[in-house]
Structure 1
């Protein structure tokens, strides 16, 4: 009988290597910003070769995206945000105002996780690679906002003014604008609001918007 090859140990080692690279990249990005981190400097700090960085994660843009994804999720699991229990719990509410407050708390949590990273990145928005990365992140956030609003529509319903395809799209656009990490950065980091004050402000805006 032919023996089967168990490569689980190799896969676990590869995952540990990748996790170490991403964790080191997060430290470098938060400490020195986007421009200061190169694949070479990351490899040196992580104690691996540049080729290992490319093989495990990818180039600089892929590394930054991996850091962003992990900070956003709060872990390195590959579960989609819309499939996580914390997101599904948003819809276990009685009405739209309750959803607005729950969603504001969710946005505050995510913005608090990734806000420091985005602050380190936004200063280099003219970098072409970074601009593409930011565009990808923005599109992902729009998809997440769409899941939230369509979930609200399907479970609780929306005001009449947001009925129809155009009304729904305009509502998603508005919520996507309100939940921007840039709003969080402006109010919390630049203007000194507490995260609690930001959450209360966002909840109020959403209550007014959702009716």
Structure 2
């Protein structure tokens, strides 16, 4: 008697569809109600699932926020690291340091535009008053640091750095310049256009990494 292998593809597809509904509901709640209106019960109602399903599929409030952020940042739900996506790969194809700076500024603007609706209200939130927001912001700061490290390590390998500037300092500068706080302040509060932000960022990166001391 031949035993057929168990096919659980239908179960995986159903779980993925449920997760998608939860993330969509979370995104819509954030847009409509802000972080204060986000909660497992509210998401469960909007996604038409039980609260336990949300905990099993994603987790609590901070996990919901992170899942929503990850999908929004990437632009899709594919589990492909940002460092392996075409926009980052294009940095490796830059023919000059100046071209690299322009591509990186455009990419940073794209990512900032995507996640600003989520991060804009949070970066001004007193994180000490909200453990969930603090946990989320700490996590994405660590992830941004990793991303900045990948970017500047590649830049250093291809084009070098000005005399007197260490790779660690270059990572510090990149990590600071691409911070959501700066985008929120310049675009969200000061009224800059995303195009103006991109131009400013390219200028700051150029001054930091291309200028000769």
TM-score normalized by the length of structure 2: 0.94
Aligned residues: 207
CA distance in 1, matches of 2:33, 2:190: 22
Q: Residue 134 of structure 1: which of 108, 132, 137 is its match?
A: 137
Partner of 1:13: 14
Matched, 1:200 2:203: no
Matched, 1:153 2:152: no
Q: CA deviation at 1:123?
A: 4.4
Q: Can you list the C-alpha shifts for 1:103-142, whole angstroms capped at 9, x where unaligned?
A: 1001000000001100233343230121111011001001
For structure 2, the 5+ residue unaligned runs are none
Contact (CA 8 Å) 2:120, 2:180: kept in 1 or not?
no
- State how 1:8-157 maps to structure 2 within 5 Å: 8-124=9-125, 125=127, 126-157=129-160
For structure 1, the 5+ residue unaligned runs are none
CA distance in 1, matches of 2:92, 2:194: 23
CA distance in 2, matches of 1:49, 1:137: 28
Q: Can you list the C-alpha shifts for 1:10-65, whole angstroms capped at 9, x where unaligned?
A: 10010000011011101101211112111011101110100111111111111100
CA distance in 2, matches of 1:205, 1:176: 12
TM-score normalized by the length of structure 1: 0.95
Matched, 1:179 2:178: yes
Contact (CA 8 Å) 1:97, 1:210: kept in 2 or not?
no
Q: Can you list the C-alpha shifts for 1:127-184, whole angstroms capped at 9, x where unaligned?
A: 012111101100100100000000111122222222xxxx111111011111111111
CA distance in 2, matches of 1:85, 1:76: 15
| CA-atom RMSD in angstroms | 1.1
Contact (CA 8 Å) 1:30, 1:120: kept in 2 or not?
no
